[in-house]
Amino acid sequence: MQNKLQATVDIGSHSCILLIAAFEDKGDTPDSPRQVLVPKLQKVEVCRLGEDIYEYGRITEARIQELTQIMTKFRMDLHALGADLKAVAMTEAMRKAENPDEVIEAVEKAIWVKPRIISGEEEGKLTYRSVKEWHGTDIVTIDIGGGSTELCNGETSFSIPVGALKMFKAMGPIPGPEYKKFVKETFKEVSFKGMTKKPVYLIGGTGTALAMVFLDKQKFDYKAIEGLEMSITDLENVTTRITNLSKELRAMLPGLENGRHEVIICGLFWLRSLLEKLRVETFKISTAGLRFGLLYPPEPEPEEKPKPKRVPPWMKKKEETEKTEDDAQ
């Protein structure tokens, strides 16, 4: 019999997240239940792998030791609750690291499951899947992480190598005049075709922290945060409020502990730029994400539509001539 409690671990550029969840029936009628993933335990530990990538291009021995300590704590939680760990995923920091094998080996020894480095495209698709299961289709998801940002509309998924931690390392806690040039250069190679003017869901630590400050929630409560709608004006007001505080006072705001206060303003600046490109005035927060998407069964690949046959111009003329002659007869 399959264990009801299933788990995943998301090893990102800024933090590691443990999810323990269970599938529960959530149908409109008793005859048509729908399996929805419901979180039972979520733990976040700051790892800042992205800092090592920015400074050294590789994950240092000291950082690997910190990471294995986090994984060991996660393993103890898993064993205490009897949950089955289904997947461990690594994202942007490990996509860029010069020593991935060394880190993978250390993590596997600590948590007893071999981690997998996933592409930015796959990360975006899995994140979209997690939000779609709760909120439906015809949406766009934005996942602002520490080292990259993934966007997906269900058909197109891509990753931009920009994240809150990466911006902080390049610009400091509050972006200055250089930010406009940075955004202009970044968006040169990015196409938002098929993603504009659709309902937007923001995922990731930046979104969760934004919601907690906006609602003044001292503790993470996914039920209060999930689906929260905010306007660009709300975003600007929160950004101004945080920016006007000293570093020490910023760290005392809800959701900005464990170093999040250093990178949050960069993340909010970046979010504002993305919303402008997507041409929306409001957005919603979701606490779903990669860690949820890893637990859903794979969806069937859509059938490819047959491509129309290309007819050379000379053949078109021949067919038209033949058709005219037939009509005349």
pLDDT tens, per residue, the chain with 329 residues: 456 999 999 999 999 999 999 999 876 555 556 788 999 999 999 999 999 999 999 999 999 999 999 999 999 999 999 999 999 999 999 999 999 999 999 999 999 999 999 999 999 999 999 999 999 999 999 999 999 999 999 999 999 999 999 999 999 999 999 999 999 999 998 999 999 999 999 999 999 999 999 999 999 998 999 999 999 999 999 999 999 999 999 999 999 987 899 999 999 999 999 999 999 999 999 999 999 999 999 877 656 556 566 666 656 555 566 656 556 55
Helices marked H in 190-300: 205-215, 222-225, 232-243, 247-250, 260-278, 290-293
- Distance in angstroms (rounded) separating the CA atoms of residues 267 and 271: 6
Provide the sign of the torsion angle of the four alpha carbons 113, 119, 123, 125, taken in this order. negative
CATH of the structural domain 120-293, one choice from 3.30.420.150, 3.40.50.720, 3.30.830.10, 3.40.50.2300:
3.30.420.150
Task: Tell me which amino acid residue 139 is.
Answer: I
Q: Do the domains 6-27+34-117 and 120-293 sit in the same CATH topology, yes or no? A: yes
Tell me if the domain spanning 6-27+34-117 has CATH number 3.40.50.300. Answer: no
Beta bridge partners of 19: 8, 42
